[in-house]
């Protein structure tokens, strides 16, 4: 009986010839990740357990992104704890204000994740790296602590759902629309503790940035991980950034899937997720008249340079509607600099946008764009739970950068077709 991509990666890292759904394994890790919120909890557990060394100074990443630059004394204290830990144990991949970025955009950019690798992170959106053909998943801070010390973690091998992609995306439709469509179709628990495996002839229609966005939101369908078959686009992206050997895994022809979906990309429309769950998706005909107070363009889901370019193309020569705050947040320093060099920053500022240093900021209701009671935001982020971006009586509508930019100009949720 064949194995899925995820099962093959887990088997290799567990030193086993094969693994099966539901099997408990102990596997070696290629990367262990935490941020300024989850890192301190993991460090406390690390110290409580009596660990006095890390398994590999180059295979741990600590990224100060959620509240950086520090928004208050508590945030400063958390970052200092991570900074002190990184200094004590010579952690190579420590990223602080000035050289950090939103973690799930930064690690692929830095070449810290490659196909076939196994990564855990004390953040649920660690599943992002499946876009590159890696097995990556979020864990609790206790598992993070053990991972930092031992370089190992235990897993229950997930079952898999197969998504065969066909056709080609329409113009102005993006990977964000695809994953919102899928979550709307299967629900927020439709892939609970399963691997979402993407492949098919339509894969070539999706850029690596599209795939990073889609894998990022696998957790919003309850998935253990999302993973894409590796193709020439993936290899071109990785080879520009990764300077070590890696192994590519493909699913066996007789791999077992609990469900299989055929997704016709050419039928997908611009999609918005209405409050208060990502599964509450609607296309333009059902949006109605939804006035907004804020638009957020950025995050680990849609803060890459392609997202910035797409938003700037719509905002150029236009201005944000009166009474609307539009906050644009490039996901890394490199992307921030590209925005300046390409003239995108000027476009954003001339359009009346806030152009921010990289940070998770408003995505989790942290800072840089908190909503008051009764306010509505259209956002390129990945969650729209009650109170996610501020007051419990505020609302978040999830959308692509194209829809978010067009909506900022219109002052209400609207699509864009050129």
Q: Which domains does the chain have, with CATH numbers?
A: 5-264 (3.30.499.10), 271-410 (3.30.499.10)
Q: What is the pLDDT of residue 119?
A: 98
Q: Could you report the per-residue pLDDT of 378-415, keeping only the tens digit for each?
A: 999 999 999 999 999 999 999 999 999 999 999 999 99
Contacts for 251 with CB less than 8 Å, ≥ 6 apart: 2, 3, 4, 5, 8, 197, 199, 229
**Secondary structure string (H, E, C) spanning the chain:** CECCHHHHHHHHHHCCCCCCCCCEEEEECCEEEEECCHHHHHHHHHHHCCCCCCCCCCCEEEECCCCCCCCCHHHHHHHHHHHHHHHHCCCCEEECCCCCECHHHHHHHCCCCCCCCEEEECCHHHHHHHHHCCEEEECCHHHHHHHHHHCEEEEECCEEEEEEEECCCCCCCCHHHHHHHHHHHHCCCCCCCEEEEEECHHHHHCCHHHHHHHHHHHHHHCCCEEEECCCHHHHHHHHCCCCCCCCCCCCCCCECCCEEEEEEHHHCCCEEECCCCCCCEEEHHHCCCCECCEEEEEHHHHCCHHHHHHHHHHHCCCCCCCCCEEEEECCEHHHHHHHHHCCHHHHHHHCCCEECCCCCHHHHCCCCCCECCCCEEEECCCCCCCCCCECCCCEEEECCHHHHHHHHHHCECCCCCC
Query: What angle, rounded to 10 degrees, do the helices at 73-88 and 38-48 form?
Result: 50
Q: 333-341 vs 305-315: helix axis angle to the nearest 10?
A: 40
**Looking at residues 8-22, what average pLDDT do you find?**
97
Bridge partner residues of 93 (DSSP):
61
pLDDT in tens, 261-317: 999 999 999 999 999 999 999 999 899 999 999 999 999 999 999 999 999 999 999
CB-CB contact of 281 with 190 (8 Å): no
| 71-79 contacts, C-beta under 8 A, 24 or more apart | 71/366, 71/367, 75/36, 78/36, 78/37, 78/39, 78/40, 79/36
pLDDT in tens, 341-389: 999 999 999 999 999 999 999 988 889 999 999 999 999 999 999 999 9
Q: In what order do the strands lie in the sheet with 159-166?
A: 225-228, 194-199, 159-166, 259-264
Average pLDDT, the chain: 96
- Contact in structure between 184 and 280 (CB atoms under 8 Å): yes
Please name which of 165, 194, 197 lies closest in space to residue 181, comparing C-alpha atoms: 165
pLDDT tens digit sequence for 86-110: 999 999 999 998 898 999 999 999 9
| Of the candidates 141, 156, 138, the residue with the CA atom closest to the CA atom of residue 225 | 138
The values of phi and psi at residue 64, to 5°, are -90, 90
- pTM (2 d.p.): 0.95
pLDDT at 68: 83
**pLDDT attached to residue 376:** 98
pLDDT at 225: 97
Strands 152-156, 24-28: pairing is antiparallel
CA distance 88 to 52: 10
Query: Residue 17: what pLDDT?
Result: 96
Q: Among residues of the chain, what percentage have pLDDT more than 70? A: 100
Whether residue 418 is predicted with pLDDT greater than 90 in this model: the reply is: no
Q: Which residues pair with 262 in a beta bridge?
A: 164
Residue corresponding to tokens 């998770």: 360
Question: In angstroms, rounded to a whole number, what is the distance separating the alpha carbons of residues 102 and 107?
Answer: 9
Query: Contact, 287 vs 410, CB < 8 A?
Result: no
């Amino acid at each position: 009986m064949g194995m899925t991509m995820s099962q093959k990666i887990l088997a290799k890292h567990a030193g086993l010839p094969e693994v099966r759904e539901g099997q408990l394994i102990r596997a070696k890790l290629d990367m262990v990740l935490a941020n300024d919120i989850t890192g301190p909890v993991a460090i406390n557990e690390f110290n409580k357990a009596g660990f006095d060394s890390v398994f590999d100074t180059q295979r741990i990443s600590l990224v100060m992104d959620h509240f950086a630059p520090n928004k208050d004394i508590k945030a400063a204290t958390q970052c200092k704890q991570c900074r002190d830990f990184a200094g004590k144990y010579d952690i190579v991949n420590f990223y602080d204000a000035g050289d950090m970025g939103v973690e799930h955009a930064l690690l692929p950019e830095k070449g810290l994740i490659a196909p076939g690798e196994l990564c855990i992170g004390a953040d649920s959106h660690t599943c992002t790296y499946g876009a590159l053909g890696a097995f990556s998943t979020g864990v609790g801070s206790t598992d993070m602590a053990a991972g930092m010390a031992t370089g190992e973690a235990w897993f229950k091998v997930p079952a898999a759902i197969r998504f065969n992609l066909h056709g080609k995306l329409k113009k102005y439709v993006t990977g964000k629309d695809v994953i919102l469509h899928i979550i709307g179709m299967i629900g927020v628990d439709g892939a609970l503790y399963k691997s979402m495996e993407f492949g098919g002839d339509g894969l070539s229609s999706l850029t690596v940035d599209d795939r990073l966005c889609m894998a990022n939101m696998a957790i919003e369908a309850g998935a253990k991980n999302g993973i894409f078959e590796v193709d020439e686009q993936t290899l071109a992206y990785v080879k520009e950034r990764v300077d070590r050997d890696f192994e590519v895994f493909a699913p066996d022809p007789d791999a077992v899937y609990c469900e299989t979906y055929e997704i016709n990309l050419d039928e997908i429309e611009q999609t918005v997720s209405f409050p208060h769950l990502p599964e509450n998706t609607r296309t333009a005909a059902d949006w109605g008249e939804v006035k907004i107070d804020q638009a957020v363009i950025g995050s680990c889901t849609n803060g890459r340079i392609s997202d910035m370019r797409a938003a700037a193309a719509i905002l150029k020569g236009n201005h944000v509607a009166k009474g609307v705050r539009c906050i644009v947040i490039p996901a890394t320093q490199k992307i921030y600099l590209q925005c300046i060099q390409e003239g995108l920053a000027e476009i954003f500022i001339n359009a009346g946008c806030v152009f921010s240093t990289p940070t998770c900021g408003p995505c989790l209701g942290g800072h840089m764009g908190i909503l008051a009671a009764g306010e509505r935001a259209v956002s390129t982020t990945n969650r729209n739970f009650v109170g996610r971006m501020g007051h419990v009586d505020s609302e978040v509508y999830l959308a692509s950068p194209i829809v978010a930019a067009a909506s900022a100009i219109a002052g209400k949720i609207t699509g864009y077709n050129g």
